[in-house]
Structure 1
Amino acid sequence: MTQAQPPVGRLGATSIDCPNPTELADFYSRLLGMRRLVETPDGGVVAITDGAHILAMMRVDDYVPPTWPGPGQHQQMHLDVSVTDLDEAVRGAERLGARQAEHQAAPALWRVMLDPVGHPFCLTTVGAG
């Protein structure tokens, strides 16, 4: 039997490209209940945390939003957000600036939302229990 090798490291953060890291960090801070962890002096990177996870927004000057599910620009990243009530969660996300995606493959299980700069993310009751 082969003994497993120890990991080289652990996941530090998930990073999201965007045109304005401060604005997107504010959106995800409110959506996920996270707090500001660090911001570079030029505002090019803003990281938020809940104490266990880190989400970093990174400025990309020529940012192009995803065109998911259509062809063109791929979705770049995708978060699943666990919730207990989909309809209530959709309303809450919309109040923060998100919008529902036109394509909803399984709306009873996942609601595909678009953040303020167009990244898809899902609100889901799967695993929220």
Structure 2
Amino acid sequence: MIGALQCVVLDCPEPVSLARFYQALVGGTVNRRDRRWALNDEWATLHLPSGQVLAFQGVDDYRPPRWPDGTHPQQFHLDVGVADLDAGHQQVLAYGAKLLDDGGGTRGWRIYADPAGHPFCLVLERPPQST
């Protein structure tokens, strides 16, 4: 092993605003003090309850991915498990997400873009099958 993953970094035009979007989506603390990073207008963090960290880096002339257009690839995406897909849908739209693909209404997932254009999925959590 060479090192340990510190965080996942998303490029965006407004770091604190996007950190707050993801805070509403998955919880956590925006811009908690951390010796690893200096916080400023061009860098924000979201410390998740699980211990993981998402970071948001301001980029001049930011160009969002365009799912599913391969000429502007998504680069990565997050899957967020939800117990109720319809309720999650309404909540992420209220926070500023845009629906990209409704999964045909029967697939158990939907694809959205966050306010900076990064794709993410809401995935229906299914209870374990009893045997």
Q: Which TM-score bucket, shorter chain as reference?
A: 0.7 to 0.9
Deviation at 1:30, TM superposition (A): 1.1
Residue among 31, 34, 58 paired with 2:28: 34
Alpha-carbon distance in 2 for matches of 1:20, 1:128: 37
Contact 2:15 2:43 in 1 (8 A): yes
Deviation at 1:103, TM superposition (A): 6.7
Q: Deviations over 1:48-75 (max 9, x none)?
A: 1124110000011021011110232111
Query: Which ranges in structure 1 are unaligned for 5 or more consecutive residues?
Result: 1-6
Normalising by the residue count of structure 1, what TM-score does the alignment of the two structures yield? Answer: 0.83
When residues 12 and 107 of structure 1 are mapped into structure 2, their CA distance, relative to the original with a 3 A threshold, is farther
Contact 1:84 1:128 in 2 (8 A): no
Which residue of structure 1 lines up, in the alignment, with residue 94 of structure 2?
Answer: 95
Deviation at 1:9, TM superposition (A): 2.3
Count the aligned residue pairs: 123
When residues 99 and 21 of structure 1 are mapped into structure 2, their CA distance, relative to the original with a 3 A threshold, is same
Deviation at 1:40, TM superposition (A): 3.8
Runs of 4+ in structure 1 over 3 Å off: 38-42, 102-107, 126-129
Alpha-carbon distance in 1 for matches of 2:77, 2:126: 17
Aligned counterparts, 1:1-129, within 5 A: 7-36=1-30, 37-38=32-33, 40-51=38-49, 52-102=51-101, 104=103, 108-126=107-125
Quote the RMSD (CA, aligned, Å): 2.2
When residues 53 and 113 of structure 1 are mapped into structure 2, their CA distance, relative to the original with a 3 A threshold, is same
Query: Which ranges in structure 2 are unaligned for 5 or more consecutive residues?
Result: none
When residues 10 and 106 of structure 1 are mapped into structure 2, their CA distance, relative to the original with a 3 A threshold, is farther
Deviation at 1:77, TM superposition (A): 2.1
Normalising by the residue count of structure 2, what TM-score does the alignment of the two structures yield? Answer: 0.82
Alpha-carbon distance in 2 for matches of 1:40, 1:115: 24
